[in-house]
């Protein structure tokens, strides 16, 4: 077990992180960020952008929980918790 600062360092190395108090499937991963990412049609329509627009996306944390991916920002409880763990990501089909 470790604190959030150590867990974040592990996420920066490509490992997934989670709290022991969470269910086994819920975890956080650092997304690397993207340069000149082509924006999809839904995002263009939502933001009133023209088709074929590209944008830069800085690195961010993403949470996977019960089949749903979302952007994730830690709560105060998460920041000060000491039950963080890190592990290598499992690829679909790994045993």
**Could you list the mean pLDDT of each consecutive 10-residue stretch along the chain, which spans 95 residues?**
94 95 92 91 91 92 94 96 94 57
Cα–Cα distance list, 62 to 6, 28, 30, 90 (Å): 17, 6, 6, 16
pLDDT of residue 51: 85
pLDDT of residue 1: 78
CA 28 to chain centre: 5
**Dihedral of alpha carbons 88, 89, 94, 95, sign:** positive
pLDDT of residue 14: 93
The tokens for 49 are 């952008």
């Amino acid at each position: 077990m470790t604190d959030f600062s150590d867990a974040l360092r592990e996420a920066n190395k490509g490992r997934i992180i989670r709290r022991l108090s969470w269910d086994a499937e819920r975890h956080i991963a650092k997304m690397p960020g993207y340069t000149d990412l082509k924006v999809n049609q839904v995002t263009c329509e939502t933001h009133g952008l023209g088709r074929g627009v590209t944008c830069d996306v800085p690195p961010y944390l993403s949470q996977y929980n019960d089949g749903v991916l979302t952007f994730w920002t830690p709560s105060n409880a998460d920041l000060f918790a000491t039950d963080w763990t890190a592990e290598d990501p499992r690829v679909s089909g790994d045993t």
